[in-house]
Structure 1
Amino acid sequence: MNDLGTVLITGGASGLGAATVDAVREAGGRPLVIDRVAPPSDVEHVVADLADSRAAEAAVGELAERAGGLDAVFTPAGTDACGMLGDVSTEDWDRVVKVNLIGTAAVVRAALPYLERSHGKVVTCASTLGVKAVSDATAYCASKFGVVGFSRALAAETAGRIGVTMLVPGGMHTAFFDDRDEKYKPPADAKLNDPRNVAQTVLFALRQPAGCEVREMVVCPSVESSWP
């Protein structure tokens, strides 16, 4: 079992990010967190908004220097703005793309020098809605389709220097849906994944030996409506 080392996780205060923080810690690794709010657990972190690329880059640098480097980065932080294109405000629509796509790129860009020194790994977080488009989700689909393209280009660009895995998760039982209008929330009996199970797939990607990479992983409930 490979040592995970120091793993930077965006959105680590809740949801899949928090589940991965726990999984990394339980596996003997050192989790670091960037989030808009302080994590409830006692974990090293910097509070920053990923919609602000400069703030995101600065947070990566601060945590990496504090930890003496990075061995891996996982980027599950995300947001959405459900609704028809004409009904979603420009500010809300743009924020989704800034956080989900541009924020991901900013974090990875800032982490690259550290990861190249450690021959580390990146796990990006796309979505089944980065592969299958649906109505009332133009911002989210645009951002996650962008993460798919970014991840594949990053893997080509950094081949042999760092490992790159793209995670494509389906729906999970997290607070991600809490702020949505009722019509956009999963029904009470929805069969969604436990984020703790998805976190284990992240660890699986990070534990691959040097020269072996899991390029892409789709992880979803067996009855996921957005896959295939």
Structure 2
Amino acid sequence: MSGVLGGLVAVVTGGASGLGAAIVERLREDGARVAVFDRMIPDDVVDGYVVDVTDDATVRAGVEAVARDLGGIDILVNNAGIGAQGTIEANSDDEWHRVWDVNVVGMVRVARAALPWLRASKAAAIVNTCSIAATVGLPQRALYGATKGAVLSLTRQMAADHLPEGIRVNAVNPGTADTPWVGRLLDASEDPAAERAALNARQPHGRLVAPAEVADAVAYLVSPRAASTTGTTLAVDGGMDSLRLRTS
């Protein structure tokens, strides 16, 4: 297979829509065979596997099926995640546990199950989808930001643990991306146009991040071109984390 990822097998969780679907498309463009994990798989999705990252049994079954069907696993993109709004008062204990189970423990389950095949690969890489909320305080994002802060730390711990086994682990940190989830939040607001304008203005480059831009970053991090890159987070946020521009 041609392309920088030719001959490699990738798993993308949450790959049926949004950022995940963009990542799947990009990795396939680079030559990878990509398995899509999601709770629901549309009929038009190729190599789709019904997997719930909160259910260890379906995770292990899905990983084993991919290894059997596609001949191993070289790349894992831990992208599945859910959002949450509000201050610490806004969500119940059950909601805190539910979001944590998907956004943090879900990554652990999938990576843990994939490790035997990743250890056997000569080009093993994991990328965890993190968020600008891990590095910047945002209003009404206490629960979501806490889980993404955990993902940031988890990425570094995994990188330290598995580098001796030849497995690189990195994270990508998107800013506010133009995804269906963000679209639903905008639609539910009192003034969607004003809310979109505010989100655009919050990012120094003046717009939402395109899913394809996040996918390009993931494609670099999982590829042999990044063979000396591990334990890092690559921000794709229009400068939101690091720039403080003067307003005109």
Asked if Structure 1 and Structure 2 have the same fold, meaning a TM-score greater than 0.5 normalized by the shorter chain, the answer is yes
CA root-mean-square deviation:
2.3
Q: Is the 8 A contact 1:9 1:34 kept in 2?
A: yes
Determine if contact 2:103/2:148 at 8 Å carries over to the other structure: yes
Match of 1:182 among 186, 189, 193: 189
1:202 to 191, 195, 218: 218
Q: 1:204 to 1:129 in 2, by over 3 A?
A: same
Q: CA offset at residue 227 of structure 1?
A: 5.1
Which residue of 2 is the match for residue 107 of structure 1? Answer: 110
Pairing of 1:74-223 with structure 2 (within 5 A): 74-119=77-122, 120-160=124-164, 161-180=166-185, 181-182=188-189, 187-189=195-197, 190=200, 191-209=207-225, 211-214=227-230, 215-222=232-239
What's the TM-score, normalizing by structure 1?
0.89
Number of equivalences: 226
SS in 2 for 1:166: strand
C-alpha contact 2:16 2:45 (8 A) present in aligned 1: no
Q: Distance in 1 between matches of 2:136 and 2:75?
A: 28
In 2 relative to 1, CA 227–31 (structure 1 residues): closer, same or farther, beyond 3 Å? same
- Identity among equivalent pairs (%): 31
Distance in 1 separating the partners of 2:108 and 2:55 = 12
Q: Give the aligned partner of residue 43 of structure 1.
A: 46
Cα distance between partner residues in 1 of 2:76 and 2:143: 24
Larger Rg: 2
For residue 234 of structure 2, what is the amino acid of its counterpart?
A: M
Contact 1:85 1:138 in 2 (8 A): yes
Task: Please say if residues 53 and 102 of structure 1, whose CA atoms lie closer than 8 Å, have aligned partners that are also in contact.
Answer: no
Moved more, 173-182 or 195-204: 173-182
Alpha-carbon separation, structure 1, partners of 2:179 and 2:98: 20
Q: Any idea what SS the aligned residue of 2:195 has?
A: coil
Runs of at least 5 residues in structure 2 that lack an aligned partner in the other structure: 201-206, 244-248
